[in-house]
């Protein structure tokens, strides 16, 4: 992440916090997740980046339990979660295959009486 993107995100989060504090009438979610997705092509490079992030934040890798083929690590600050996720090639291929059918199957119209 470039320095400007990083500062923009931090400032946006601080602005949101200040706004919510100043406007208690505005409803909020019970949980917020900030995602980071590596910008690499290979599974190995993406997993290495997630491993490095896990080491830096002191968290473990979440992989075996992932039904979607994601390699991830998470650190929570109360209800605020930072989650770094590598979407592996097999999961991307499965998603692309499933999406290839989008719009191809149409339900029968409801019969009129």
Domain ranges of the chain: 1-29, 31-99
Percent of the chain with pLDDT over 90: 62
67-101: pLDDT as tens digits: 667 899 999 999 999 999 998 877 777 767 777 77
3-state helix, strand, coil in the chain (%, to 5): 40, 20, 40
Between 91 and 57, name the one with better pLDDT. 57
**Which residue in 48, 43, 16 sits closest to 32, CA to CA?**
16
Average pLDDT over residues 100-104: 77
The yes or no reply on domain 31-99 and CATH 3.30.720 is yes
Round the average pLDDT of the chain to a whole number and report it: 88
pTM for the structure as a whole:
0.76
Kindly indicate the confidence band of residue 38, based on its pLDDT and cuts at 50, 70 and 90. very high
Cα(58)–Cα(17) distance, integer angstroms: 25
- The mean pLDDT value for 11-23 works out to 97
Four-residue CA torsion sign, 69, 75, 78, 82: negative
């Amino acid at each position: 992440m470039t320095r400007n993107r990083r500062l923009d995100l931090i400032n946006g989060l601080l602005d949101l916090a200040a706004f919510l504090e100043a406007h208690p009438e505005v409803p909020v979610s019970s949980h917020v997740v900030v995602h980071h997705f590596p910008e690499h092509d290979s599974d190995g490079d993406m997993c290495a980046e997630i491993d490095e992030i896990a080491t830096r934040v002191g968290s473990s890798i979440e992989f075996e339990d992932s039904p979607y083929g994601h390699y991830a690590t998470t650190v929570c600050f109360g209800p605020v979660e930072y989650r770094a996720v590598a979407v592996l090639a097999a999961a991307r291929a499965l998603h692309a295959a499933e999406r290839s059918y989008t719009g191809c199957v149409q339900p029968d119209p409801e019969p009129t009486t």
